[in-house]
């Protein structure tokens, strides 16, 4: 649902020229939900001849309340809205001395004539979506801060030349979500339709205009909340026995009365992310679409989309559109247009994407807007998140203290790490906070900015003073990092090293030259038998890891 905030303010009587100058609202929007508007009373919008028009008359018995406004538009007045192709009729009534009826899907495609009361079947009576009713500013008093949005409705009144007077005695607006807008059986049940607006009283009119195809009566009704699924149903009653003078009454004694809307473009903009979230290393993207659901072409449509920035982010169209460009400067901006969107569903879409890295972690919010020459403006927002994670590798010594393993004493262990997205890296355990090992503790290796998933870790070089190597799997869980939310539990990979030591046993003759010896040791390697400097016989073992009794036997004069 797209949302417009509508203010309930006291309307100001203004000339129609100002209303025409106001941009016809073009977004399929929903106003903030308002209470049911009830207007009542007797009002005259009569004019003496076709050269004059009335101002906007608020149809409320309590000045200051939000209400509908009405005016009669003289055919020779400067602000007359008429001309072939300007209007889309959606309900025609014809009856005497009174008439009533409402619009619904009628005729072909609706299973036949489903009209009720004095409604005339044919192309001039059909279902219409709430989103297809043009919206204009209601024109509020200058002392108020905002502008309320009103539905713009016209009626072509066709009274005879000898009996020009007629009165509008009831207007009711409903929403229905029945299939194809088919609705029958007025008064409607709550299951069929919901009442949004009602006027009950008398609006007196002197139909001085001649011919049909004109917008004789303008009715502005404050917009109520609606969705794309809501059909707009307008019920009206005409005719009263009140005397209009000269032997005429306000009965409906002539031709038809036809409700219609101005043919306008009706543009909506949508923005969608390729995915709500992706793992670091995957592409992120957005699609911007503008669609014209109105009954007139939308012209001069321009898209402007300042694209979100981030480390490792660089945007480009995919595929390229000749109508669009993406600037290279930061922040990058997507620009498209000017575009013409054909009536009845003309649409244009553009897609942008960027690769990501382990430095691109975070949420990217993006708002695109459109402007136009005849279809107003609008905006839409979407977001996507680059999920990043961390792995933690612990290096323990096989030495136990109090039955517990301890970290290796020296930094410098080297690990080969591979994982999702063709990740491959060699990382060295550092005792300072580095760009690769982000944990400053010896024997703790933490790497963040990774795509979530499993990583294969192989120790390729043991730290100095230790021997042995190992391999295993470290798991990167989305949302983990190397600061306040490090990996834990089974996600952590622990590898062990054996601490090493050296032994040396030496024999030397005391000076007589009469003694010699052989040396042998158990639980160690064969070692080196090259005599140490100044000694006759040596057994030297380095890098030993056995923990326990090492027994060396020296046999003199074998």
pLDDT at 372: 94
CA 303 to CA 289: how far, in whole Å? 9
CA distance 41 to 354: 61
Secondary structure E strands in 293-345: 298-306, 316-317, 324-326, 333-341
pLDDT at 11: 35
Mean pLDDT of 92-107: 92
Q: Which residues, including other chains, have CB under 8 Å from residue 408's CB and lie 6 or more apart?
A: 395, 396, 397, 442, 443, 463, 465, 466, 497, 499
Closest CA to 28 of 228, 284, 169, 190: 228
Is residue 140 very low, low, confident or very high in pLDDT (cuts 50, 70, 90)?
very low
Pairing of strands 389-401, 493-499: parallel
Higher per-residue pLDDT: 50 or 336: 336
Check which CATH number belongs to the domain holding 446 and give it.
Answer: 2.60.40.10
* Each residue's pLDDT tens digit, 201-232: 999 999 988 777 778 999 999 999 899 899 99
Average pLDDT for residues 264-286, to the nearest whole number? 92
Q: How many domains does the chain have?
A: 4
The answer to whether residues 161 and 236 belong to one domain is: yes
Let me know whether 492 and 511 are in one domain. Answer: no
How many CA atoms does the CB half-sphere of 454 hold within 13 Å?
Answer: 4
Kindly state whether residues 331 and 228 are assigned to the same domain. no
Residue 277 CB neighbour total at 10 angstroms:
15
Match 């007629």 to its residue by tokens: 166
What is the per-residue pLDDT for 18? 28
Q: What is the CATH number of the domain that holds 292?
A: 2.60.40.1530
- At 80, the pLDDT band (50, 70, 90 cuts) reads low
Looking at the structure, do residues 412 and 444 belong to the same domain, yes or no?
Answer: yes
Is residue 142 scored above 50 in pLDDT? no
Q: Are residues 182 and 315 in the same domain?
A: no
> Which tokens belong to 173?
């607006």
Q: Are residues 281 and 351 in the same domain?
A: yes
* Residue with the two structure tokens 């219609």: 260
Domain check: are 217 and 243 in the same one?
A: yes
Q: State which residues form the domain around 245.
A: 3-24+31-262
Residue 534 makes CB contacts below 8 A (sequence gap 6+) with 508
Asked whether residue 221 falls in the same domain as residue 158, the answer is: yes
Residue where a domain stops, chosen among 262, 278, 306:
262
pLDDT > 50? residue 28: no
In this prediction the pTM is 0.56
Is the same domain home to 248 and 351?
Answer: no
Q: Which of 262, 290, 324 is the last residue of a domain?
A: 262
- pLDDT value at position 33? 42
The whole-number average pLDDT for the span 11-32 is 34
Q: What is the mean pLDDT of the chain?
A: 86
Out of 231, 262, 293, pick the residue that ends a domain. Answer: 262
Shared domain for 222 and 326, answered yes or no, is no
Non-local CB neighbours of 375 within 8 Å, separated by 6+ positions: 26, 264, 265, 266, 267, 292, 294, 298, 299, 301, 341
Q: What is the pLDDT of residue 214?
A: 78
Residue 31 has pLDDT above 80, yes or no: no
Check if the beta carbon of residue 294 is closer than 8 Å to that of residue 138.
no
- Six-digit token string for 94: 């014809």
In this structure, the answer to whether residues 379 and 396 fall within a common structural domain is: no
Least confident of 28-32, 133-137, 376-380, 505-509: 28-32
Which residues have a Cβ under 8 Å from the Cβ of 84 and sit 6 or more positions away?
213
User: Given a cut of 70, is residue 169 above it in pLDDT?
Assistant: yes
Terminal alpha carbon distance of the chain: 100
Does residue 492 sit in helix, strand or coil? coil
The whole-number pLDDT of residue 263 equals 83
459 pLDDT above the threshold of 80: yes
Q: What does the longest C-alpha to C-alpha distance in the chain come to?
A: 159
* Residues 329 and 300 grouped into a single domain: yes
Q: How many CB atoms lie within 10 A of CB 443?
A: 23
- pLDDT at res. 19: 32
């Amino acid at each position: 649902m797209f949302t417009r905030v509508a203010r309930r303010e006291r309307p100001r009587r203004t000339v129609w020229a100002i209303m025409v100058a106001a941009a016809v609202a073009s977004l399929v929007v929903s106003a903030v939900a308002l209470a049911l508007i009830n207007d009542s009373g007797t009002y005259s919008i009569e004019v003496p001849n076709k050269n004059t028009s009335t101002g906007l008359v608020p149809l409320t018995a309590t000045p200051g309340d939000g209400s509908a406004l009405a005016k009669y538009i003289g055919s020779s007045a400067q602000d007359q809205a008429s001309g072939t192709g300007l209007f889309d009729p959606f309900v025609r009534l014809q009856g005497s001395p009174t008439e009533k009826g409402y619009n619904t899907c009628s005729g072909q495609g609706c299973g036949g004539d489903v009209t009720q009361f004095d409604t005339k079947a044919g192309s001039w009576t059909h279902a219409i979506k709430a989103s297809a009713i043009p919206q204009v500013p209601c024109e509020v008093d200058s002392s108020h801060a905002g502008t309320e949005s009103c539905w713009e409705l016209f009626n072509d009144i066709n009274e005879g030349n000898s009996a020009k007077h007629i009165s509008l005695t009831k207007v009711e607006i409903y929403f229905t979500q029945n299939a194809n807008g088919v609705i029958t059986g007025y008064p409607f049940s709550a299951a069929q339709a919901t009442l949004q607006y009602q006027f009950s009283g008398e609006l007196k009119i002197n139909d001085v205009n001649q011919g049909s195809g004109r917008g004789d009566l303008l009715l502005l009704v404050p917009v109520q909340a609606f969705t794309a699924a809501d059909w707009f149903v307008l019920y009206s009653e005409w005719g009263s026995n009140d005397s209009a003078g000269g032997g005429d009454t306000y009965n409906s004694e002539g031709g038809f009365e036809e409700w219609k809307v101005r043919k306008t473009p009706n543009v909506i903009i949508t923005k969608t992310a390729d995915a709500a979230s992706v793992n670091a290393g995957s592409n992120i993207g957005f699609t911007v679409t503008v669609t014209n659901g109105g009954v007139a072409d939308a012209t001069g449509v321009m898209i402007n989309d300042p694209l979100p920035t981030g480390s490792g982010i660089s945007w480009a169209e995919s595929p390229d559109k000749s109508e669009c460009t993406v600037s290279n400067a930061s922040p990058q901006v997507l620009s498209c247009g000017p575009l013409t969107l054909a009536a009845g569903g003309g649409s244009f879409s553009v897609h942008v994407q960027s690769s990501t890295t382990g430095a691109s972690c975070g949420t990217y919010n993006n708002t695109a807007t459109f402007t136009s020459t005849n279809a107003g403006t609008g905006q839409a927002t979407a977001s996507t998140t680059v999920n990043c994670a961390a792995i933690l590798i612990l290096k323990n010594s096989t030495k136990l203290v109090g039955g517990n393993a301890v970290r290796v004493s020296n930094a410098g262990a080297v690990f080969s790490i591979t994982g999702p997205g063709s990740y491959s890296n060699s990382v060295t355990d550092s005792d300072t906070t580095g760009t690769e090992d982000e944990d400053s503790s010896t024997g703790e290796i933490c790497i963040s900015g990774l795509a979530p998933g499993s990583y294969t870790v192989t120790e390729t070089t043991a730290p100095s003073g230790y021997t042995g190597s190992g391999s295993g799997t470290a798991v990167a869980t989305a949302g983990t990092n190397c600061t306040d939310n490090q990996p834990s539990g089974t996600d952590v990979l622990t590898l062990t090293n054996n601490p090493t030591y050296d032994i040396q046993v030496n024999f030397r003759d005391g000076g007589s030259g009469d003694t010699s010896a052989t040396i042998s040791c158990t639980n160690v390697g064969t070692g080196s038998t090259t005599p140490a400097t100044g000694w006759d016989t040596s057994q030297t073992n380095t890098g030993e890891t056995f923990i326990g009794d090492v027994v060396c036997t020296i046999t003199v004069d074998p």
